[in-house]
Amino acid sequence: MEYRIEGTPLPVVICELQAGETMITERGSMSWMSPNMKMETSSGGGFGKALSRMFAGESLFLNRYTAQGGPGMIAFAASFPGNIRPFHIRPGRELILQKRGFLAAESTVDISVHFQKKFGAGFFGGEGFILQKISGSGIVFAEFDGHVVEYDLLPGESMVVDTGYLAAMDASCSMDIRTVPGAKNMFFGGEGIFHTVVTGPGRIYLQTMPIQAVAGAILPYIPTKSD
């Protein structure tokens, strides 16, 4: 499979497949394709995996697109202004993704649920108790909100991240939460009560325009019925 990513700020990844090669994606993520791409909807590994994807914020079923009778082409567009990033997954190089982060992947990639080991990180860390774990072997495409900034954390090195700005991290990283110190800072500082703390070793991917932050910014300007 060969690919190219085009367009800003609403990018699309265009994949060129050889005969017999298959891509998997979420329901409704395909944007356009050549006529010889055969679509098949499946649970992607049985009911258990389908259920785990649902808990991770994705749909129960995956769509499989296979090039038949010769080379094929299929495109997957981002659903929000930002970036599409390719990741080369292999054993020992798994990825943890935010909800809604998965766009498409080669069929040899596995998508499963990732539980936060620390209870507090799950409920107060901004992305919920469950994230997505990407494993297996192959290329996965993830979509991020806004621009992406990467940091390589050494063992024991940490980064404090505001809610929603952590888009992805290597599976070798860990995540916890901490309260904002001081009651005045907590209630009048405008940064919320909790921050996410990500600790290495591994690479983290931070996004500059989380969709929930955008929604919060435009909410005061949406007319209500009383207006």
The pLDDT value given to residue 111: 87
CA dist., res. 143 & res. 77, Å (int): 9
Task: Assess contact for 207 and 167: CB atoms under 8 A.
Answer: yes
pLDDT score, position 90: 96
Question: Is residue 149 a contact partner of residue 208, using CB atoms and an 8 Å limit?
Answer: yes
pTM of the model: 0.82
pLDDT of residue 180: 65
**pLDDT for residue 51:** 54
Q: How far apart are CA 30 and CA 166, in angstroms?
A: 26
Looking up tokens 């808990």 gives 55
Residue 43: per-residue pLDDT = 62
The C-alpha atoms of residue 76 and residue 141 are separated, in whole angstroms, by 9
CB contact set of 173 (below 8 Å; sequence gap of 6+): 96, 153, 198, 199, 200, 201, 202, 203, 204
- Domain 2-215: which topology? Double-stranded beta-helix (3.60.160)
Backbone angles phi, psi at 190, to 5 degrees: 75, 5
Q: Identify the pLDDT of residue 128.
A: 47
Q: How far is CA 42 from CA 9, 56, 175, in A?
A: 32, 17, 32
Q: CA 80 to CA 101: how far, in whole Å? A: 11
Q: Which residues of the chain have pLDDT under 50?
A: 47, 50, 53, 56-57, 119-128, 183-190
Domain range annotation of the chain: 2-215
Q: Count of CB atoms within 10 A of residue 213's CB? A: 16
Rounded Cα distance between 112 and 38, Å, is 24
